[in-house]
Every structure is written in C-alpha cells, then in structure tokens.
Amino acid sequence: MVLTKEYRICMPLSCEEYQIGQLYMIARHSYEQSSNGEGVEIITNEPCEDETYGKGQYTEKPVCLYGFSPYVLVYFILQKNRGIFIPLQKQCSFVPKLNILIRTKYEDNNGNSENSLNLNADQLKHRLVDNIDIAFDELSNGKHYKKEEDPKFFTSKKTNRGCLIEGWRDTDKPIMCSYKLVDVSFEVWGLQTKVEEFIHRSIRDILLLGHRQAFAWIDDWYDMSLDDVRAYEHETHQETNKKLNINNKTVNGNCNTIAIFEHQTNVPNGIVKILD
C-alpha cells in the first residue's frame, strides 16, 4: 500500500520569482545545515541530457552521517513550472525497501486547482490533500524556529510584502502555489505504516521550513537574475564542501550518494535533510 498526499504550499510570490527564491534557499539552507564533517557535499553539478526530460542539470550529493541520527529524508524541491509537471522517483540505496515518488506543478494561483496534476479517478480517491500555511502552521521542531523567519512578523523592505495575516492566501498578490503529489512506500511488514507516516511528517516539516525561509530571505535574492543565483549556488556549494572538510578526500562508508536529475527550464532540484 502506498501512502499518497498532495501538499499545496502557497507563496506570496510569482512563479518567476519562486524559481530564484528556491535556488537561493536550497544553496543557503544546505550551507547553514552543514557542520564540520556532517551534512551534504556537492560532488557533481553539471549539465546533462535525459531521453525523457531533455536538457537539464545532474547533481550528485553524498550524505554524511557521522553525528546524525539514522533518519534520512530526501527532500526534492522542484522549481518553476507553470504548465508541465516533472515526476521524480528515488529508491534509497541505503534503505532498499523505501520508495519516494514526487510529482510537482507550479501555478500562479492560491491552491484552488483541484486536479492540477491530472490524476485519474483512482488516484483522486486515495489522495489526501494537505494545505501548508507558511505563516500559521507551526514547525514541529522548535529548535528550527526563528522569529525573523516567521512570515507573521517578517516584512520585506524591497517588496513591502508581509507581515502575513490570517486569510493572506485569499487576499495577497502576487501569489503562487506549489502542488506536490508525494507517494511513499516502505515494504517491510510491521513497520510500513509507521515509517510511511513518519516520512510524510518529515516531508511536511521540511517543506514548511524551506518555504518560510525562501520568503524570509527575499530581500537577499530579490534583485538576483537566474545567472546571479546560479553563480551564488556554485560559490555556496564550494563553501559548503570546505565547511564539511571533505574536499580532496575519499568519501567513506558513512556517506550515501543521492543522484538527482534537474530539468531545465522546469528546474527540479534537491537537497538532503538529516532529521534528528
């Protein structure tokens, strides 16, 4: 049995702005969440071509587990897309019975598309819709909370967006929505339900935190072009690797490699988040 949920995350941005904001957030978040020898190294980040999705970006990242708990979750963030969705599936080599399939579409609306991903009748029957409110949903782990990243209290100096109030998704402009259909299956008898529910809770927490940060950091990325944010991404990846003290070293057995295909211009990307 597969546990399927459709997460809908609205942002006070346009889809065009969202692409820049997400790329910036991913790079900065990866850097800030990496510590000495623990975190995510960028091994490969280069152009490639896929038979199905065309030209794109290939990213390879080992997950280093030295001091982290064993709960590892792959968080795929798919970037700007107004008309096409990109399916992305990962079978975790270090947890061979675990499969995660994420399909995503981005639209300039407030989450009111009831079948944005063109699901069939059976899929609609089993789908659970979960609307994530970046302002009024609480992070389950209080240690990740920062008042300056709370959309209820943050106001952008460059755009004058925020503070977000109750009902903001019905009144604020611009607004866009990320529709993420997430299938999780863990085929181990006796553990399936608990593990699948845990992964979905973790995915929700990470989506909430990441999107709050993307908005709260808007003044840092708002004036960036796509080339600017790609340059920032490259520079930050190098700094992240230095921070991990892994450059020019052989990745040891504590690391597991995640390979992610990134399709242009829809630009799916990903980071790995270690939960403790």
**Which is more confident, 28 or 133?**
133
pLDDT tens track for 59-97: 665 554 444 333 333 333 333 333 333 444 444 544 557
pLDDT of residue 136: 98
Element housing 107 (H / E) = strand 98-107
Q: How much is the mean pLDDT over the chain?
A: 76
CA distance 81 to 258: 23
CA distance 6 to 179: 7
Q: Which of 3.40.50.300, 3.30.530.20, 3.40.430.10, 3.40.50.720 would CATH assign to domain 3-274? A: 3.30.530.20
CA distance 105 to 176: 11
pLDDT of residue 70: 33
Phi, psi of 190 (to 5 degrees): 90, -20
Return the residue matching tokens 């909430």.
Answer: 208
Contact 180, 106 (CB under 8 A): no
pLDDT tens track for 8-29: 999 999 999 998 998 899 889 8
pLDDT tens track for 97-130: 777 787 888 899 999 999 998 899 999 999 999 9
pLDDT of residue 242: 80
Enumerate the β-bridge partners of residue 178.
Answer: 9, 106
pLDDT of residue 97: 72
- Three-state SS for 228? helix
CB atoms within 10 A of CB 93: 11
* pLDDT above 50 for 221: yes
Q: Which residues contact 109 (CB under 8 A, 6 or more apart)?
A: 175, 176, 177
Look up residue 257 and give its two tokens: 């490699």
pLDDT tens track for 77-86: 333 333 333 4
Q: Which residues contact 36 (CB under 8 A, 6 or more apart)?
A: 243, 244, 245
Per domain, the residue ranges of the chain are 3-274
Give helix then strand counts, H and E, for the chain: 6, 11
pLDDT tens track for 173-214: 999 999 999 998 888 788 888 888 988 988 898 899 999 999
